[in-house]
Amino acid sequence: MYADKKPDKIDPNEKRLGKWLNCALSYEPLREPCVIDKLGNIFNKEALVEALLGKKLPKEFRHIKGLKDMINIKLSMIPGNQSDSADGATFQCPISGLEFNGKYKFFALKNCGHVVSAKALKEVKSSACLVCHKEFIDSDKMVINGSEEEVAALRERMEEEKAKSMKEKKKRGIDIVDGKKDCGNLEGNGKKSSNGGAKKFRAMDMAPANATKEVYASIFTSSKKSDFKETYMCRSLPLGRN
Ligand SMILES: [Zn+2]
């Protein structure tokens, strides 16, 4: 947040361009598969997933908590050699041919992931994706590398969605503790079981009417206690178990 206020020694033009050609995290040239976050930053999926798993995401990208916070996008390559392009762009709008180089506004469609220029969307005026014809609504359009105001609007929407899903999860009685679902606690939806927790599954209780209960239960590994130790070599051997 404060970084933006520091004097900028890098040519702002170059910086702007870099965001369109490179992964926002690894700064490596964009190559498929690419994803965007809910703020319209664009990443190489591999770099982002790796950083996420290694818990190495910098502060500015901490809103990305999992795959659900990434949108898979489909970029269109500029046909032929990319060096044909003066500024090194690799991708383009599949409809208008405008280069994905920071000079033009681009949207990713949330549902199908296709990335098309704002110009094409404006000119064709369609409620279906211009590439795959999947229907979309206005809020499915995610502006990529948007202006400060556009990013602020996306951030607001992201916060709203988050608040909404938190509310829904609470309604269903699932507590979120540090991002982990605590499914054992079903208080709040009136279905709390008599022994205070979720009832343990017992195969015997579920046996079909004309099956011998013990036999049916023996299908399940946990039905019978034994000191038989399982190793990877003998998993399928019933030795010592029956
Ligand atoms: Zn599409």
Mean pLDDT, 10 residues at a time, over the chain (242 residues)? Answer: 57 79 95 97 98 96 96 94 66 96 96 97 94 95 96 95 90 61 46 48 69 71 55 55 48
Residue 208: its pLDDT value, please? 73
Predicted confidence at residue 95, as pLDDT, reads 96
Residues 170 and 242 in one domain: no
Residues 104 and 31 reside in one and the same domain? yes
- Do residue 54 and residue 136 come from a single domain? yes
Compute the distance from residue 1 Cα to the ligand 1 centre, in Å: 34
pLDDT reported for residue 188: 44
Between β-strands 34-36 and 42-44, what pairing exists: parallel, antiparallel or unpaired? antiparallel
Structural domains counted in the chain? 3
Strand duo 141-143 + 180-182: pairing: unpaired
Domain C-terminal end among 146, 163, 183:
146
Co-location of 89 and 171 in the same domain: no
Residue 86 confidence (pLDDT): 62
Residue 222 shares a structural domain with residue 136: no
Domain coverage including residue 208:
200-242
Does residue 125 share a domain with residue 59? yes
Question: If you measure from the C-alpha of residue 128 to the centroid of ligand 1, how many angstroms do you get, rounded to a whole number?
Answer: 8
Q: Which chain residues have CB less than 5 Å from ligand 1, an ion?
A: 112, 114, 129, 131-132
- Ligand 1 center to 97 CA (angstroms): 16
Q: Measured in angstroms, how far is the CA atom of residue 74 from the centroid of ligand 1?
A: 8
Encoded tokens for 231: 């190793």
Are both 88 and 17 inside the same structural domain? Answer: yes
Q: Report CA(133)–ligand 1 centroid distance (Å).
A: 6
For residue 236, report the distance from its CA to the centre of ligand 1, in Å. 47
